[in-house]
Amino acid sequence: MTTKKITYIADIDADVDDLIAARYLKDKCVLGAVVLDPKPVSDTGFKRVELLKNLGIDVRDSIPEDTDTIFIGGALTIVAEFIKTHKLATLVMNGGFVGSNIVPADRALDKFKGKTAIRTFNFNCDVNAADYVLSSPNIGKIILVGKNVCHNPKNTADGIWKDLKPMIEGEYKVRPGKLQHDMLACREGLVALGCLDEPALCVYKEVYPFNMGLCGNMTWWGSTLTPKPYNKYRKVLAAVDWVA
């Protein structure tokens, strides 16, 4: 098992998920720093920042210069700027979508059956940044854990996170049944990096992200197994299903 110090980029205002994911990385002894993007503006966001600091977490406004591994639970804005002048070994993100052109119908969630592209929150927070990052040669490996897996009901404190239920629902007052999008991506990223001596919970394939034309937060995203003439994006490793 290898040890890494990971920079986690958190949208701390938007959702308590980012706070929980940062706590998870801290508890696994792999967290180097949390970078706030965007900076908090709400009282809730400021309180969450204080909770991070009280845990002894290094909270920053910019990505440390020596960062080579980034996990991200929000927009790709700050990553796009960073990789203009830096290289990354690995980027792990909750985002993207693998649809019915790849996922068998009997393995797809009901709400995604027959769909090859959908709107995805994290990419659509800053579509121009997503467009840039997914085209960049300055990242060694991109790992995406998207809606097609993280929206499964098993991704909750009553499912795979039962051991952490006291923390999730007790300490952070998360409602029962809330999906843990960011923590799942962090866990799977740690497994892929060899930082967690546990099996992956998801099945992965090399895919090529695509969109159906940039249109702000209305942009629709999907994936293909082979590059197509209209698809300018690089190959990524994406979660396509849960391990049976």
218-233: per-residue pLDDT in tens? 999 999 999 877 778 9
Nearest-CA neighbor of 201 among 218, 185, 219, 221? Answer: 185
Number of domains in the chain: 1
The answer to whether residue 201 is domain-embedded is: yes
- What is the chain's mean pLDDT, rounded? 95
Query: What are the strands of the beta sheet with 6-10, ordered from one edge?
Result: 59-60, 31-36, 6-10, 69-72, 88-94, 139-145, 236-242, 202-211, 220-224, 117-119
What residues make up the domain containing 84? 6-242
Nearest-CA neighbor of 166 among 20, 57, 56, 19? Answer: 20
**CB-based burial label for 177 (10 Å; 0-12, 13-18, 19+):** exposed
Q: Name the E strands within 37-94.
A: 59-60, 69-72, 88-94
Task: Convert the pLDDT of each residue in 44-89 to its tens digit.
Answer: 999 999 999 999 999 999 999 999 999 998 899 999 999 999 999 9
Q: Is the pLDDT of residue 160 over 80?
A: yes
What is the amino acid identity at position 66?
Answer: D
The answer to whether residue 24 is domain-embedded is: yes
The answer to whether residue 227 is domain-embedded is: yes
User: Which pLDDT value is given to residue 14?
Assistant: 86
Nearest-CA neighbor of 209 among 234, 182, 191, 243? Answer: 234
User: Residue 238 belongs to a domain with what CATH number?
Assistant: 3.90.245.10
The answer to whether residue 56 is domain-embedded is: yes
User: 165: how many CB neighbours lie within 10 A of its CB?
Assistant: 15
Express as a percent the part of the chain with pLDDT over 70.
99
What is the amino acid identity at position 162?
Answer: K
The answer to whether residue 27 is domain-embedded is: yes
Beta bridge partners of 221: 118, 211
The answer to whether residue 1 is domain-embedded is: no
| C-beta of residue 106 within 8 angstroms of C-beta of residue 152 | no
Count the helices and strands in the chain (H runs, E runs).
8, 10
The answer to whether residue 233 is domain-embedded is: yes
Nearest-CA neighbor of 19 among 190, 191, 183? Answer: 183
Cα torsion for 31, 88, 62, 57, to the nearest 10°? 0
Give residues with Cβ within 8 angstroms of 161, minimum separation 6.
155, 168, 180, 183
The dihedrals phi and psi of 92, each to the nearest 5 degrees, come to -115, 130
What is the amino acid identity at position 99?
Answer: G
Q: Is the pLDDT of residue 156 over 60?
A: yes
Q: How many CA atoms, within 13 angstroms, populate the side-chain half-sphere of residue 103?
A: 31
User: Which pLDDT value is given to residue 87?
Assistant: 97
**Alpha helices, DSSP H, located in 134-180:** 147-150, 165
Task: Convert the pLDDT of each residue in 166-183 to its tens digit.
Answer: 999 999 999 999 999 999
Distance in angstroms (rounded) separating the CA atoms of residues 83 and 191: 24
